[in-house]
Homo-oligomer: A and B are copies of this chain.
Amino acid sequence: MRQFVIHGHDAPTTGDFSLDDLAGGAGRLDILCRCVNSALFLSHAMRTDTRVHLVVGDAVTVRLDGAEIRYLHPNERNIAGMLRKALDATDRVIGHREASPSSGVYVSKRGLEATLDDIDGTLVQLHEAGDPLPDVEPPEDPVFVLSDHHEFTDDEADLLADRADERVRVGPEILHADHTITVAHNYLDTDGFTTY
């Protein structure tokens, strides 16, 4: 199982946004849509071994399961529509339980820490000051944690410093979160850039 946790600091916590303005009024939801695309899509197939956890704002998480998800297309507008439906369901969520407004999509009232509490696996922070990816043995059940276009806050950085098993970087260039996910997948697909 591969998992990706992406924190969208400005992303909306309700479905009250326009699909025509994802990069503006919707708090850079476009970034999270591209992360979902990179995490879940193969050519003409889904990555059924992968889950994505989008932490939006401080206290809402949308989880997408590649094995269960249906009717998702790779374009930003379609993914945003599915996320809007999920965020519209936040009202129905009681305590730390999840609501599932569509197959493979779950929403809960959890922030970053509570979301990490519930995930098993080797926590890998993708960070520009981390170890080079080829120097790190691909973990069995990696959980990659990334931020959107913002840095993690000091509190979040402290949390990750405490929790992360590895801190890695994907190359000498600083990449967008979705591109980083693509490289991480390729590193795992090829067992550390060795098996083709």
The distance in angstroms between the C-alpha atoms of A73 and B30, with both chains bound, is: 11
A159 at the interface (CB under 8 A from B): no
Judge whether B44 and A194 touch: CB under 8 Å.
Answer: no
* Separation of A37 and B23 alpha carbons in the complex (Å): 14
Partner of A183, one of B73, B169, B186: B186
User: For A190, what are the chain B residues with a Cβ–Cβ distance below 8 Å?
Assistant: 171-172
Interface size range on A against B: 35 or more
Given A75-B23, A78-B23, also A174-B42 (CB < 8 A): yes
Residues from 7 to 52 in A contacting B, C-beta threshold 8 Å: 19-20, 22-23, 30, 34, 37-38, 41-45
Known: A170-B186, A171-B186, A171-B189. A194 touches B43 (CB 8 A): no
A172 to B188, CA, bound (A): 10
Q: What are 27 A-B pairs at a CB distance below 8 A?
A: A23-B73, A23-B75, A23-B78, A30-B75, A34-B34, A34-B37, A34-B74, A38-B182, A41-B179, A43-B175, A44-B149, A74-B176, A75-B76, A76-B76, A133-B196, A134-B193, A134-B194, A135-B196, A170-B186, A171-B186, A171-B196, A172-B195, A175-B186, A179-B182, A182-B182, A182-B183, A183-B186
Chain A residues near B (Cβ < 8 Å): 19-20, 22-23, 30, 34, 37-38, 41-45, 73-78, 132-135, 149, 169-176, 179, 182-183, 185-186, 189-190, 193-196
